[in-house]
Amino acid sequence: MTDVPAPQPLMLFNSLTRQLEEFQPVHPGEARVYSCGPTVYNYPHIGNMRAYVFADTLGRTLSFKGYKLTHVINITDVGHLTDDADAGEDKMEKMAAEKAQSIWDIARHYTEAYWADVKALNIRQPAHWSIATDYVPQMIEFAKAIADKHCYELEGGLYFDTSTVSDYGALARAKTDEGEGRIDEVEGKRHAADFAIWRRTPAGETRQMEWDSPWGRGAPGWHLECSVMSEALLGFPFDIHTGGIDHREIHHPNEIAQNQAHSCSDASGARIWMHNNFLIERSGKMSKSAGEFLRLQLLIDKGYHPLAYRLMCLQAHYRSELEFSWEGLGAALTRLKRMYKAVAVRMWEEFQQKGDPIDAPSQYEPIARDKWHEREVLGYLQDFDEAVSDDLNTPKALVVIEAILGDPTISDRLRWHLIATIDQVLGLDLLQRKRTDLRIRPKAATITEEEIEAALTRRKEARAAKDFATSDKLRDELTAAGVEVMDGDPLGWDWRLEA
Ligand code: AMP
Ligand code: ZN
């Protein structure tokens, strides 16, 4: 029997040190992760969702490596201004005024929309969804604790003096361009990078969301919520803090400054800070206002299964920019279909050989890590472990899955166990769903699934009778209705409705 192999150390890129570092938990056997969540003033675009596919992959990897995971994602329903550098209006107040609705209704609607995307993308539920407005009293306490030593008051409220902590902005490493280049919109600020801890409601105005505080009635600054909620739910310090790369420049340096002030130390709050790179459009930055608003629902309306987008994200390393294109999404869908098909074809072959009902692959359990060495497929498990342990190298991990699906030398029972093990991290539901589940009817389609199936049956009969004229005519009719027919599929399933 082979010896139990040493586990691969989990190496993660820490934005603080700009280096790969081995994950060493604060609490042995546990992993505590905080991810900056959405500001629920609008639907998330698919770029935002890339940040959560990444956080989910990180969480799944930590579970796969045997850590007990506690993941927190916050919901920002107060405080985030239209400009991250503390200028402009509150995004929530602005949207509520535009729509003439209450902020609470706006928050509920867009939180639910975000949760629907989370579910569709197979992102696991975190242990806590922390809602910013639930923590305002704690934010006020936090602010009170740092106010004397680190803050000053202006007409607009309480501001954090970034010169009172050591090495402000080290995370961004862009003090010259970013900090000093930032437009100093608030009169009286001591340094351009100083930021609001509490925003006092201007005299004569009321806000929909406001609370009493020692600095007057008002609302908390955006950065405060993450310092407060991460400590309340994960302790101080905790293991990993994630967010999109834009947060490396302002939001996270400000969180770190608050944490240093509050803990009277140089501790940043999290041991490792991780940032996903952006999903971009050929035309530039993805935005909710410019051009076609790329929501997950738009992809679905055009006939793309959400898991194709999940796969598209996994095909790129999280630290690389990823350019969105419909062709790229189509290619990811085809790749996913091939994977599902490989599972289905193998089941079909097994059925042909046995002639009786076969076990559904979905019932196969993952192989426990302490049993890996007893299996002859140890090499695959190690290759996969090596890939994800190398700063979540999902592009490489996907190649391992495909090798397993195509390997003629292993038994199907073992194959399903292997895939069940690996798909815990990838979350592609390879054993749970059928390829036909990937078929989504585009909103604009005029033909029904039944009509397609009926036309395909008639076409098959025509071909069997060597009536090629009828067969070609049926195919042309299907093409005209937006149905692409792929011949040569042993399971006879393959057609796709174009949007
Ligand atoms: P927001 O709702 O604007 O606070 O953003 C939610 C998350 O999405 C944050 O972690 C952002 O850093 C991240 N994010 C924003 N735009 C993109 C993008 N185009 N690609 C990837 N992540 C993004
Ligand atoms: Zn945050």
Q: How does residue 85 score in pLDDT terms, banded at 50, 70 and 90?
A: low
Nearest-ligand number for the alpha carbon of 37 = 1
Residue 246 Cβ < 6 Å to ligand 1: yes
Other CB atoms within 10 Å distance of the CB of residue 289: 6
- Of 209-218, 241-250, 354-363, give the lowest mean pLDDT range: 354-363
- pLDDT at residue 491 in the model: 56
Domains of the chain, CATH where assigned = 11-283 (3.40.50.620), 322-437 (no CATH), 445-497 (no CATH)
Neighbours of 375 (CB within 10 A): 17
The verdict on the CB of residue 34 being under 6 Å from ligand 1 is no
Distance, CA of 446 to CA of 448 (rounded, Å): 7
The DSSP code for 211 is: B
Strands 195-200, 218-220: pairing is: antiparallel
What is the distance in A from the centroid of ligand 1 to the CA of 172? 17
Q: Separation of 389 CA from ligand 2 center, angstroms? A: 26
Residue with tokens 């929530």: 92
State mean pLDDT over 126-133.
Answer: 97
**Atom 8, ligand 1: residue with shortest CA distance:** 48
Closest ligand 1 atom number to CA of residue 277: 21
The pTM of the full predicted model, rounded to 2 decimals, is: 0.91
Could you tell me if the CB of 401 is within 6 A of ligand 1?
no
Of the candidate ranges 130-139, 161-170, 312-321, 470-479, the one whose mean pLDDT is the lowest: 470-479
Q: How far apart are CA 60 and CA 288, in angstroms?
A: 29
**What pLDDT sits at residue 178?**
43
Instruction: Output the CA 47–ligand 1 centroid distance in Å.
Output: 6
252 CA from centroid of ligand 2 (Å): 7
Nearest bound ligand to the CA of residue 275: 1
According to the model, what pLDDT value does residue 180 have? Answer: 43
Over residues 331-386, the pLDDT tens digits come to 999 999 999 988 887 777 776 677 666 677 788 899 999 999 888 889 999 999 99
Enclosing H/E stretch for 219: strand 218-220
Distance (angstroms) between ligand 1 centre and the Cα of 244 equals 5
**Is the minimum distance from the CB of 38 to ligand 1 under 6 angstroms?**
yes
281, containing H or E segment = strand 279-281
Q: Is the per-residue pLDDT at 177 higher than 50? A: no
**Over 60: is that where the pLDDT of 421 sits?**
yes
Q: What is the mean pLDDT of the chain?
A: 90
- The one-letter amino acid at 324: F
Distance in angstroms (rounded) separating the CA atoms of residues 478 and 459:
10
Residue 286 CB less than 6 A away from ligand 1: yes
Return d(Cα 430, Cα 490) in angstroms, integer.
19
Residue 297: closest CA among 287, 312, 289, 309: 309
Q: From CA 254, how far away is CA 156, in angstroms rounded?
A: 18
Q: Report residue 493's pLDDT band, with 50, 70 and 90 as the boundaries.
A: low
**Calpha distance 156→370 (Å, rounded):** 58
> CA nearest 271: which of 224, 320, 235?
235
48 C-beta closer than 6 A to ligand 1: yes
Ligand 1 binding pocket mutation candidate from 246, 273, 279, 285 (most atoms within 8 A of CB): 246
pLDDT tens, position by position, 6-52: 779 999 999 999 999 999 999 999 999 999 999 999 999 999 999 99
Nearest atom, ligand 1, residue 48 CA: 8
CB 24 within 8 A of CB 302: no
